[in-house]
Amino acid sequence: MNIAIIGGGAAGFFAAIAAKENHPKAQVTIFEKSKKILSKVKISGGGRCNVTNGSTSIKHLVTAYPRGGKQLKQAFRIFSTQHTMEWFEQRDVALMIQEDNCVFPVSQDSQSVIDCFLKETKRLGIAIKMGQGVQVISPINNQLRLDFIKEEFSSLTFDKVIVATGGSPKRKGLEWLEKLNHKIKDPVPSLFTFNMPEEKITELMGIVVEKTLVSIQGTKLKSDGPLLITHWGMSGPAILKLSAFGARILNERNYEFKVQVNWVNELNNEIVREELKKIITTHSQKQLSNYRPYLLPERLWLFLLKKSNLPLQKKWNELGKKGLNKLITVLTNDVYDVRGKTTFKEEFVTCGGVSLESIDFKTMESKVCRNLYFAGELMDVDGITGGYNFQAAWTTAWIAGKLL
């Protein structure tokens, strides 16, 4: 059996290794159109590579996928986060689970993962062809013919083909698969930070508030978690999660909208009112600037007081009903204008790709082209940050490689 893997990234290498281990007599070849392999693995997690998430609950895991969670539920029963951790550790990549459940190599270096893949492909005799991009797949009898972008490469025929080319930022990059009658979901960015060029809060860059609630005005989109103030706007897990679940809606709005921030992670305003009243009673003579509710970062608290037009020298017992309402509003419903987006670090993730309607998730085989399989982010599957995107890549690649 002759097997081709199109794409030399995380999903491509994992699929190739799975294919060769499960079909030892097969000839397996990886085709990568660029001169680099595993480039996204190299930069992911700030160069540390967040290989998976430490959660072993499938019910919990699927909530981290704005698209594809339902299909991955079945797939995770076949190859789970636990399987991933065992896979790497059996191949001498020691892993550690952080407090936030992100799983990294103990080496804290993505090169450990890259070296593992290269060692495995060499051990198994998997061929790697760089600078050979595929532009056409043609079904011929019971096989698939690959035609390459560069004309100097002759067409090649394979028994099985796994496409693992990663997310395409534009629909044009998916037309070659659309020609085979696969349904395509228009790709739009996911996992991005919010730009706020007109908002003074950017002066507080570097501040992190650990527990926030954020939402988009005029939608049902909401998220929670740590929020980071940057020199261009807002980032951090709460914002990134919101951008992932709102990828299509925010794209339709051309990334111009209002974000509401609840700085104290409390939906019930009456509970916040009672908390502030306690401060008025117990710290009545203290100036507003000298006592911070909910242990908010000092610079943020002073900023919110100024935003509410409350004098910093005013004492807590001088706040009055009007002042109290102003504070409750700014703490629980602080509104900012978003005007654009910035890609999160260099980890570009797309919402969209080959529609899941065109794929049999039990085997990862195409429903419209026999012997053609898919793995990774090329499909309309994407997760939030925390190792979820890599896990989807490992799972789909392993199933595709095993069940060829």
Whether residues 221 and 366 fall in one domain:
no
Do 242 and 382 reside in the same domain of the chain?
no
Distances (CA, A) of 396 to 87, 275, 359, 368: 15, 49, 11, 18
Output the average pLDDT for the chain: 97
Q: Which band of pLDDT confidence, cut at 50, 70 and 90, is reported for residue 218?
A: very high
Question: Which of 5-9, 78-82, 303-307, 348-352 comes out lowest in average pLDDT?
Answer: 348-352
Q: Are residues 221 and 143 in the same domain?
A: no
Segment 287-304 shows an average pLDDT of 97
Q: What are the pLDDT digits (tens) for 228-287?
A: 999 999 999 999 999 999 999 999 999 999 999 999 999 999 999 999 999 999 999 999
Measured CA to CA, the distance from residue 263 to residue 323 in angstroms comes to: 18
Rounded distance between C-alpha atoms, residue 37 and residue 31, angstroms: 10
- 240/57 Cα distance (integer angstroms): 22
- The 3-state DSSP class for residue 33 equals coil
210: phi then psi, degrees, rounded to nearest 5: -65, -40
CA 77 to chain centre: 21
SS (H, E, C) 328-383: HHHHHCEEEEEECEEECCCCCEEEEEECHHHEECCCCEECCCCCEEECHHHECCEC
Q: Tell me, yes or no, whether 288 and 373 share the same domain.
A: no
Residues spanned by the domain of 328: 192-343
User: Is the model's pLDDT at 346 over the cut of 80?
Assistant: no
Asked if residue 312 and residue 206 are part of one domain, the reply reads: yes
What pLDDT was estimated at residue 345?
A: 63
Residues 192, 342: Cα–Cα separation, whole Å: 6
Same domain, 62 and 98: yes
Tokens of 77: 């029963």
pLDDT of residue 303: 98
Residues 170 and 214 in one domain: no
* Count of alpha carbons within 13 angstroms of residue 205, beta-carbon side: 10
Query: What are 175's two structure tokens?
Result: 């037309």
Alpha carbon distance 151, 102 (integer Å): 44
Last residue of a domain, one of 343, 358, 380: 343
From CA 144, how far away is CA 357, in angstroms rounded? 21
Tokens of 333: 């419903």
- What pLDDT sits at residue 404? 87
Which residues lie across from 229 on neighbouring strands? Answer: 234
25 contact partners, CB below 8 Å, separation of at least 6: 1
pLDDT of 112-145, one tens digit each?
Answer: 999 999 999 999 999 999 999 999 999 999 999 9
Q: In terms of DSSP H, where are the helices of 215-282?
A: 237-245, 247-252, 269-282
| Same domain flag for 373 and 266 | no
Whether 355 has a pLDDT exceeding 70, the answer reads yes
Alpha-carbon distances, residue 37 vs 43, 111, 217 (angstroms): 12, 12, 41
pLDDT of residue 347 exceeding 70, the answer is no
Q: Are residues 179 and 212 in the same domain?
A: no
| 369-390 mean pLDDT | 97
Q: What is the mean pLDDT of residues 322-338?
A: 98
Answer yes or no: do 196 and 328 share one domain. Answer: yes
Task: Spell out the alpha helix ranges (H) of 28-105.
Answer: 39-47, 58-61, 69-78, 81-90
Tens digits of residue pLDDT in 35-94 = 999 999 999 999 999 999 999 999 999 999 999 999 999 999 999 999 999 999 999 999
Last residue of a domain, one of 294, 323, 343: 343
User: Any idea what the CATH number is for the domain that residue 144 is in?
Assistant: 3.50.50.60
pLDDT tens profile 139-197: 999 999 999 999 899 999 999 999 999 999 999 999 999 999 999 999 999 999 999 99
Quick one: which of 316, 309, 400 has its CA closest to 360? Answer: 400
Please state the pTM of the whole predicted model. Answer: 0.94
Q: Do residues 260 and 390 both lie within one domain?
A: no
Task: Mark whether 134 and 211 lie in a shared domain.
Answer: no
Whether the CB-CB separation of 385 and 237 falls below 8 Å is answered with: yes
At which of 303, 318, 343 does a domain end? 343
In the chain, the number of structural domains is 2
